[in-house]
Amino acid sequence: MDRRHFLASTGRALLAGLANARASGARAARAEPHAITLFLCGDVMTGRGIDQILPHASDPELFEPWIRSARSYVELAERTNGPIPRPVDFPYVWGDALAELARADVRIANLEAAVTCSDEAWPAKGIHYRMHPGNVPYLSAAHIDCCVLANNHVLDWGRPGLVETLDALHRAGIRSAGAGRDAVQAEGPAVLPARAKGRVLVFAFATPDSGVPPGWAAGSDRPGIVLLTDLSAGRADAIARRAQTAKQPGDVAVVSIHWGPNWGFDISAAQRSFAERLVAAGVDIVHGHSSHHVKAIQVHRGKLILYGCGDLLTDYEGIRGREEFRGELGLLYLATLDAMSGQLLQLAMVPTRMRRFRIERAPSNGVDWLVNVLDREGRRFGSSVERQPDETLLLRW
C-alpha cells in the first residue's frame, strides 16, 4: 500500500471511530463517571380536552370562535381514533412514555396550560388552556421535576390563575422556571437535584413572536413571565453570566426558550446566533420550543441546541389542517451530558404519537418521517440521526 492510500485508509478509520464514539449507545454514555441524563420535551398541554378526561375536570366552557366546550375536543379525537375512557387514571395519558421517563435523572417539560380554577379568561385572547389543580397528580405520575412556564398560555386565566398554578405545582414538589409572583422570582432558576449527581439549573424565557402578550411580563410587584424582547449578543451574554454565577462544580445549566411561530422549519439567523452565543459562554443546553413539530438539532462546541422540540402531549387529535407537519408525532429527548464539562455524550430520541389522548410509540412510517425531517433539517448544522433496532434514534454530529 502506498503512502497516499495508507493515509486515506487511516483517515477513514479515524473518522469512523470518531463517529462511533460520539453516539456509541446508552451503555457507554452512562458509564462516564460524571454522566447525567436529562429528559426534555416540547409542549405538554394538559388543558381543555385532556383536562376533561382526567378525574377532576374543569368547567368546559371555552371562548373560542368556533368551539364553545372543551368536551368537543374529546369528541373530535374519538371520531378520529375511537373511544377514550373517562375518567382515566393519572398515568393513562403518558402511556408508553413512562418507561422512557424512568431512564432520566431529571425531567423538564414546557407546561402549556394554567393550573387553576380561575374564571378570569384573559380578554381578547382566542385560546385559553386550563387544567384543574386536582389533576396535578397527572404530572407527578410522570415524575416531572420542573415545569417551564414562560410561554404563551400560562396566563390564559389571568394573574390569579398564574399564582394558583405556581402554588399547585410547588405543593406537589414540582419546581417551575420562567414565571413568578414578581420579576425576581420569575428570573431565578429552578434548581433541581439530580440523584446525587449534582444539580440542574433551569432558566426560562419566552419571546413575543411565540404569541406572548406584552402585558404578561413580570414586574417588581406584578406576577408574570420572563419576556425576552430581543435576541442580542448583550442579552445572551447577560443570561450566560447569570448561569455561570449560579453554577457550582458539577452543575448543568439549561436555558429554555419558548420562541418562534407554531409552524415552519425555518430557524432565523438571530435564533442561531443567540443559541450559539449562549453555549459558547457557558450554558450547557438550549431547550427551544413553541413549534408544533420537531425542528433541527445542533451541537455547537460540544453543547446541545434544540431549536424546536415539537409537541409531546396535546388535545389536537382530530383537528384538520397542517397535516404536512405531522403534529401528532413527537420525540422524547434523553440527553446524556458530562456534568463537569456540560459536553453532550449522547442524545437518544424516542419517536411518539398521540392517539386517543395517550402517548404511544410511533409507527414505522412515523419514524421514517421523523428520520427524514431530522436528517434534512440537521444537514446545515452537521447533524443526522441513526435509527436503532428498537426504533430509538441516536444523534450523530
Q: What is the CATH number of the domain that holds 118?
A: 3.60.21.10
Same-domain check for residues 38 and 23: no
Backbone angles phi, psi at 108, to 5 degrees: -125, 130
DSSP state of 160: H
Give the pLDDT band of residue 51 (cuts 50, 70, 90). Answer: very high
Same-domain check for residues 201 and 227: yes
Same-domain check for residues 22 and 100: no
Tell me what pLDDT residue 164 has.
98
**What is the SS3 assignment for 182?**
coil
How many Cβ atoms from other residues are within 10 Å of residue 159's Cβ? 18
Tell me what pLDDT residue 381 has.
98
DSSP state of 215: G
Same-domain check for residues 19 and 69: no
Same-domain check for residues 100 and 229: yes
211-243 per-position pLDDT tens digit? 999 899 999 999 999 999 999 999 999 999 999
Instruction: Mention every residue, 6+ apart, whose C-beta is less than 8 A from residue 327.
Output: 292, 293, 310, 311, 314, 316
Tell me what pLDDT residue 31 has.
60
Number of separate domains in the chain: 2
130-149 per-position pLDDT tens digit? 999 999 999 999 999 999 99
CA distances from 7 to 10, 12, 31 (A): 5, 9, 32
Tell me what pLDDT residue 34 has.
84
Assess whether pLDDT exceeds 50 at residue 4: no
Same-domain check for residues 22 and 36: no
Same-domain check for residues 49 and 9: no
- For the stretch 229-237, contacts whose Cβ atoms lie closer than 8 Å and that sit 24 or more positions apart, written own/partner, are 231/207, 231/270, 231/271, 231/273, 231/274, 232/274, 233/273, 233/277, 235/274, 236/274, 236/277, 236/278, 236/281, 237/277, 237/281
Tell me what pLDDT residue 228 has.
97
Cis peptide before 208 (omega within 30 of 0): no
**289 beta partners:** 258
Cell numbers 427524514: residue: 372
Host domain of residue 8: 1-28
Same-domain check for residues 79 and 192: yes
Tell me what pLDDT residue 368 has.
98
Lowest mean pLDDT among 13-27, 38-52, 354-368: 13-27
**202 beta partners:** 190, 254
Tell me what pLDDT residue 3 has.
38
* Summary mean pLDDT of the chain: 92
Same-domain check for residues 6 and 137: no
186-204 per-position pLDDT tens digit? 999 999 999 778 899 999 9
For 297-323, what is the mean pLDDT? 96
**What is the SS3 assignment for 373?**
helix
Same-domain check for residues 18 and 132: no
Same-domain check for residues 66 and 195: yes
Same-domain check for residues 15 and 151: no
Assess whether pLDDT exceeds 60 at residue 264: yes
